[in-house]
């Protein structure tokens, strides 16, 4: 397992998961003069890989864009959003449609080595994963679901280390694929800008549990924690 960092990029203690979730904002403007330290970027990417996925197939792929030339290419694919040009790092988050065809054996071997699965369970896991994955009706949708869990994990990890982030869904997927050589068996799930915020953004608010939670059946009001 990757080492869990305990310091932010400014030297202070890393935020806990609840603190990072509570403090995270989608940053609108980045300071282009402040680069993301290599070590912090590597830690954020490592932590993102700890997200869950079906059969532990880990379909996410992170295409990290840092040079001015390539960020300009991406800027043209993303409706010229200023964040893409300003942020020192933009991660193109990809979902691989068929990881079982290329990485299943490696994943199983890793689990054996770590003691997560006994030798007696290998054949059954291999057969079940292959059978299930080959029957998935929409591989792109399957890959996107797990990959977006990794994207959310990446942003929480960034916040915990003192980095700002901004997820973006405003881009042209086919242009991104063409510009960066992304194969057709990968979906462009989102873009995530990383860096340091140039301005503070106030908390925009969230709906309460009574608005977004139901109890036992859709439409049945949520009552846990509600006052009498």
In the prediction, which pLDDT does 225 show? 75
Token pair 């964040």 is at which residue?
Answer: 83
Spatial CA neighbour of 198 closest among 21, 32, 8 = 32
Q: What is the pLDDT of residues 104-126, one digit of tens each?
A: 999 999 999 999 999 999 999 99
Instruction: Give the helix ranges, DSSP H, for 115-216.
Output: 122-134, 139-160, 173-180, 209-212
CA 195 to chain centre: 16
Spatial CA neighbour of 154 closest among 53, 62, 58, 55 = 62
In the prediction, which pLDDT does 228 show? 46
In the prediction, which pLDDT does 226 show? 57
The sign of the torsion formed by the CA atoms of 34, 39, 43, 49 equals: positive
Name 31's Cβ contacts closer than 8 Å, sequence gap at least 6: 86, 195, 196, 197, 198
Domain 17-212: top CATH class: alpha beta
What is the C-alpha separation between 222 and 170, in angstroms, rounded? 34
In the prediction, which pLDDT does 2 show? 65
Name residue 120's beta-bridge partners: none
Assess contact for 69 and 186: CB atoms under 8 A. no
Question: Average pLDDT by consecutive 10-residue portion of the chain (228 residues)?
Answer: 86 97 96 97 98 98 98 98 97 98 97 96 97 98 98 98 98 98 98 96 93 97 76
| pTM of the entire predicted model | 0.96
Q: Which residues of 99-118 are buried (b: 16+ CB within 10 A; e: fewer)?
A: bbeebbeebbeebeeeeebe
First-to-last C-alpha distance (Å) of the chain: 46
Assess contact for 188 and 92: CB atoms under 8 A. yes
Spatial CA neighbour of 185 closest among 136, 152, 150, 151 = 136
Assess contact for 66 and 86: CB atoms under 8 A. no
């Amino acid at each position: 397992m990757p080492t869990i960092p305990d310091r932010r990029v400014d030297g202070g203690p890393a935020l806990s998961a609840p603190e990072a979730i509570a403090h995270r904002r989608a940053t609108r403007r980045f300071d282009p003069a402040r680069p993301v330290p290599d070590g912090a970027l590597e830690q954020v990417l490592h932590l993102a890989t700890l997200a869950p996925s079906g059969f532990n197939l880990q379909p996410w792929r992170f295409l990290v864009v840092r040079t001015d030339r390539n960020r300009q290419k991406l800027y043209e694919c993303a409706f010229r959003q200023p964040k893409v040009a300003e942020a020192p790092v933009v991660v193109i988050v990809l979902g691989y449609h068929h990881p079982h065809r290329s990485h299943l054996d490696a994943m199983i071997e890793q689990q054996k080595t770590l003691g997560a699965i006994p030798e007696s369970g290998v054949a059954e896991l291999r057969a079940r994963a292959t059978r299930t994955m080959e029957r998935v009706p929409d591989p792109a949708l399957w890959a996107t679901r797990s990959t977006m869990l990794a994207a959310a994990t990446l942003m929480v990890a960034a916040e915990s280390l003192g980095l700002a982030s901004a997820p973006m869904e405003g881009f042209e997927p086919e242009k991104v694929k063409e510009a960066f050589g992304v194969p057709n068996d990968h979906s462009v799930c989102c873009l995530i800008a990383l860096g340091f915020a140039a301005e503070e953004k106030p908390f925009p608010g969230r709906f309460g549990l009574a608005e977004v939670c139901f109890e036992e059946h859709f439409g049945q009001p949520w009552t846990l924690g509600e006052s009498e």
